[in-house]
Amino acid sequence: MGNLCTCFSPKTPVKNKKPTKRLQGNPQTAPNSSNRWTRIRSTRKDNHDELIHEHALAAAILFRQHQQQNGSASGSFPFDRSVSLRHPNGSGSKKSQLPRSSSSRARSLTDPLLQPHQLVNQDIKLDDLETNHFVLVHGGGFGAWCWYKTIALLEEGGFKVTAVDLTGSGIHSFDTNGITSLSQYVKPLTDFLDKLVDGEKTILVGHDFGGACISYAMELFPHKVSKAIFVAAAMLTNGQSTLDMFSQKAAGSSDLMQQAQIFVYANGNNNPPTAINLDKSILRDLLFNQSPGKDVALASVSIRPIPFPPVLEKLSLSDLKYGTVRRFYIETPEDNAIPITLQESMINSSPPEKVFRLKGADHSPFFSKPQALHKLLVEISKIPST
């Protein structure tokens, strides 16, 4: 996956460094330390490090002042641990105020600059979860590569993550045109689950056609699946195929999927199609209408044909196996591939335990809303058994 890595050369050292600004603190904060707090000399050559150091000292002063004011009815205020520093009302002249954060931009749960420890609740204990192992299953034409942001966020939070390449997908070398059944297509996933030790459970996450794939696996290994999460995915009922699901689209609706499909007839035009290619000129509007351009570029050179026979295959799902696994659905309202009306139709036909809506997400929320998707995955992992 060398295309995912970018090397950055070290920054050129700053030769003529400007003197560090002085911080004006309370001269009574610490006796005999005025030189220490009013003048900061840095030996570092990186201005960015100096700024971080300056903010750390400012936070220390604020915390010291708060300790001194603790218990006083006037002028006290709760200490805030956010990046931006707060100042008490009427704190004096501008000269005595501490410097504000270098960023005034409001941050949100979907802000890509937020770190996992800022995004998820701190009371989470992985050892208390039924399982902390996520298994990510891509959609038709995608591969494990599409989860790269989700993998990084989950692993940084301490979760175990496995992203599989289904047969003929991603870096799996098998020819897509040679896939003749759903079981053959899903084999990398079922082989993985089969090799898990007894008692080990996973959280399956399926996107797009991957929803049908995890449903197939849930029927085979219900005792190895703690929860199943469908992300803009095909959540089918017994006896239904993915093609049946797509045929439910409302008549007259804008069907970009139909426009984008290019059927491949590897066995000749007189035989059924073997695979489906997607017109790359429509990919952005179909799958990535809210996603960053760099991720669209990655997808355009990584997407492979979708095997056609598995799309036609009807699932056999039983209440005693598939029905025992807890299911959750994450809706993507800006989706042009599986429109929100179709998602809600599947939810109504086979209601999951809980439904979440990822505001502003297109069909590929791992690109368009990676932080918000990560938050939902972690929150679902924390939902206890009823």
The residues carrying an active-site annotation are: 208, 335, 363
Residue type at 88? P
CA atoms of 307 and 196, how far apart (whole Å)? 27
User: Residue 10's closest CA among 44, 40, 46?
Assistant: 46
CA atoms of 384 and 386, how far apart (whole Å)? 6
Measured CA to CA in angstroms, residue 32 lies from 29, 35, 58, 79, 84 at distances of 10, 8, 18, 25, 29
Q: What angle do CA 134, 140, 145 make, to 5 degrees?
A: 50
Residue 360 falls in which region: left (phi positive, over 0), alpha (psi -120 to 50) or beta = left
Question: Strand 326-331 and strand 225-233: pairing?
Answer: parallel
CA atoms of 380 and 236, how far apart (whole Å)? 21
